[in-house]
Structure 1
Amino acid sequence: MDPDLKPEYQRRQRRRRRCVLASVAALIALGLLILILALTVFRVRSATTTVNAVHLSGLHAGFNPLTLSVDLNVTLDLDITATNPNHASFKYDHGSAELYYREILAGEADIPPGEVAAEGSVHTHVVLTMLAGRLITNSALYADVASGLVLMKTHTMIPGKVSVAGIIKLHMVLFTSCDVIIDVFTQAVNNTNCSFKTKF
């Protein structure tokens, strides 16, 4: 190589090396940025529903001599909170609430669709009314009403999804389950034990 061209060649080589190093550094920085975003902003966490309270808003218990059956009409008001810990909103579709007596479906209600803002929560009330006609032939109901305590279960199910920047979409279903003891004599909810879970 011509000695006069050698310094110029070395300068070009140094420039190329700087460009390559700068490109590698930029790619590493971009990778770190994506990793940080994936672990923070883009990380999708479980939304949850919790039952804050169960109120007995209606109760009628009696004996019908014409049909020789127990008349039991129960209306429960569930105070539910849906919480979204994500940096994107949680949109949920039509959900359902069900009321059970000894594994028998005794009442049901719809939960309307809605949206929980990013890192926010939404309160909703669900009214469940027991359909007494479904329990007329259940002999255990007579004994429970006579004892003054009726154990019922409530289940809620809310399907929805979290969409982060329109790129990451994660579907999940929120469930709650409550054991509710109703005191027939005082016409009040005697005890409530609730649990919740989220399925992806």
Structure 2
Amino acid sequence: MKAESRKRNLCLAVTAGVVIAIVLIIVILAFTVFKPRRPVDTIDSITIQEMHVGLNVAQLVVDLNITLGIEASINNPNHVGFKYSDSNALLNYRGQLVGEAPIPAGEIKAGETEFIKVSLTIMANRLLSNSQFFKDYISGSLPLSTWITTSGKVSILGFINVHVVSTSSCDFAINVSTKTIGQKECRYKTEL
């Protein structure tokens, strides 16, 4: 009986040792190789797809149609996939929302980059209601800012979920006479 008891105790000790070793390996991998890294949103380019601005001073009528094309990318540097939920690309004029376009949910595989193309049409009524618009139009430059926020999660080893929010924003100006985008200044931020 003592021999059986010893064998059983030895078997339990070996099993416990193996389980502890596996848990340690998983913890070490989770905090080194599979450590969550910050996905990065980047606004790669902003272009004018369509632009028509006309002023009829005699009739006090403004005809305005501006559509911007925004190309962005989301880079996932993690060793696991990044799932993000529905989002929006937003366009502001002097702190006022003047355009919005949806970005559908998706998933980016480990180490890959996803490219997103969005068309933002300026809501003319909101732009024209701003008292600064005519002054900016006459000066030849319309200051705008755009931003994209992607919210999602990185799942490590199938049971550790890390919530990630990545934001990119750019300030730029439309040159009215040449119908071009002036120099843009962009900022990027990611929170785990």
**How does the TM-score come out when normalised to structure 1?**
0.82
SS of the residue 1:38 aligns to: helix
Q: How far apart in 1 are the matches of 2:20 and 2:150?
A: 41
Q: 2:128 aligns with which of 129, 133, 136?
A: 136
Residue-pair matches, total: 191
Match of 2:181 in 1: 189
Corresponding residue SS for 1:123: strand
Paired position in structure 2 for 1:176: 168
The equivalent of 1:166 in structure 2 is 158
Q: Tell me, yes or no, if the aligned pair for 2:30 and 2:156 is still in contact at 8 Å.
A: no
Matching residue of 1:6: none
Distance 1:67 1:156 in 2: 38
The one of 29, 37, 45 aligned to 1:37: 29
* Structure 1 position 43, deviation (Å): 1.3
Aligned to 1:89: 81
Pair 90,67 (structure 1): closer, same or farther in 2 beyond 3 Å: farther
Higher mean alpha-carbon deviation, 112-121 vs 32-41, is at: 32-41
- Give the deviation of 1:66 after TM superposition: 6.7
Q: Secondary structure at the match of 1:44?
A: coil
Measure how far apart 1:65 and its partner are. 3.9
Q: After superposition, give the CA deviation of every residue in 1:88-119 in whole Å (9 maximum; x if it has no partner).
A: 11111111111110111111110011111111
Q: Distance in 1 between matches of 2:160 and 2:84?
A: 16
The CA distance in 2 between the partners of 1:92 and 1:132, in whole Å, is 31
What residue in structure 1 maps to residue 190 of structure 2?
198
User: Could you tell me which amino acid in structure 1 is paired with residue 110 of structure 2?
Assistant: A
* Kept in 1: contact 2:38–2:76 (CA 8 A): yes
Deviations 1:116-159 (A, max 9, x none): 11111100101111011112232211111111111101011222
Asked if 1:147 is matched to 2:139, the reply is: yes
* 2:46 aligned partner: 54
Runs of 4+ in 1 over 4 A off after TM superposition: 18-29
| Shift of residue 24, structure 1, vs aligned partner | 8.3
Equivalent position SS for 2:184: strand
1:116 aligned residue = 108
Report the identity percentage: 39
Displacement of 1:41 after TM fit?
3.3
Gapped regions of structure 1 (runs ≥ 5): 1-8, 10-14
Deviations along 1:19-62, one digit per CA (max 9) or x if unpaired, are 89967875674454234302233311211110111111111112
